[in-house]
A and B are shown apart, each in its own frame.
Chain A
Amino acid sequence: AIRMTQSPSSFSASTGDRVTITCRASQGISSYLAWYQQKPGKAPKLLIYAASTLQSGVPSRFSGSGSGTDFTLTISCLQSEDFATYYCQQYYSYPVTFGPGTKVDIK
């Protein structure tokens, strides 16, 4: 199975900050990568697929980039509703696998 790692595992940020989360795959996955946001007690929400395509209804402050093994999720101007845990997921091959998550909390 392809192993996904994320960094950092958690960090604190302030409203208005630009934040970047990194996801790395153990082997090349082309652009078959999705990003999800999960808030406490809620189901995950799809933010980005195909590494950089914004899901309908997701604010444009979210963006994704990368291909192959290295990917990033960027939030250009952090809002209060963005404090959450973010997961990457590869869907290049089965079993699909998720990263361990990055928790973004309030500084």
Chain B
Amino acid sequence: EVQLVESGGVVVQPGGSLRLSCAASGFTFDDYTMHWVRQAPGKGLEWVSLISWDGGSTYYADSVKGRFTISRDNSKNSLYLQMNSLRTEDTALYYCAKAAAGTGFYFDYWGQGTLVTVSS
């Protein structure tokens, strides 16, 4: 059974930093592109970032480019999101999502999310 478990969400002040983690199990982690997708309270879904199976390629939404860094450790079946220079508009539930096989650009499994609140 595929499982994705996010952690690391907390309350942080504007300008602060945070690292989110996602522990994956139930599939061959290093075969798949992985993504972060976020959802602000009461709002819709926003794609944040992706990393290729080997970490060699990364992409970011314009809203986080230059502030967030995605990474992975295939030896630990783990995905990370380093978040710097946080803004109030980064407040959201952050989901780790597994790319479907093939294109890798849609998501067949999601974690339950970890809540990041940026507030003074």
- The interface on chain B, measured as residues whose beta carbon lies within 8 A of the other chain's beta carbons, has a size of 19
* CB within 8 Å of A: which B40-97 residues: 44-47, 59, 61-62, 95
Question: Do A49 and B59 have beta carbons less than 8 Å apart?
Answer: no
A32→B100 CA distance, assembly (Å): 13
Question: Do B47 and A96 have beta carbons less than 8 Å apart?
Answer: yes
A20→B111 CA distance, assembly (Å): 28
Answer yes or no: A72 CB below 8 A from chain B CBs: no
Partner of A43, one of B47, B62, B95: B95
Q: A55-B108, A94-B59 are in contact. Are A32 and B103 (CB under 8 A)?
A: yes
Q: A32-B105, A89-B106, A95-B61 are in contact. Are A49 and B45 (CB under 8 A)?
A: no
A101→B107 CA distance, assembly (Å): 16
Interface size class on chain A is 20 to 34
With both beta carbons as reference points, the residue of chain B lying nearest to A98 in the complex is identified as B45
**A–B pairs, 23, beta carbons within 8 Å:** A32-B103, A32-B105, A36-B107, A42-B112, A43-B95, A43-B110, A43-B111, A43-B112, A46-B107, A46-B109, A49-B100, A49-B106, A87-B44, A87-B45, A89-B106, A94-B59, A94-B105, A95-B59, A95-B62, A96-B47, A96-B106, A98-B45, A98-B46
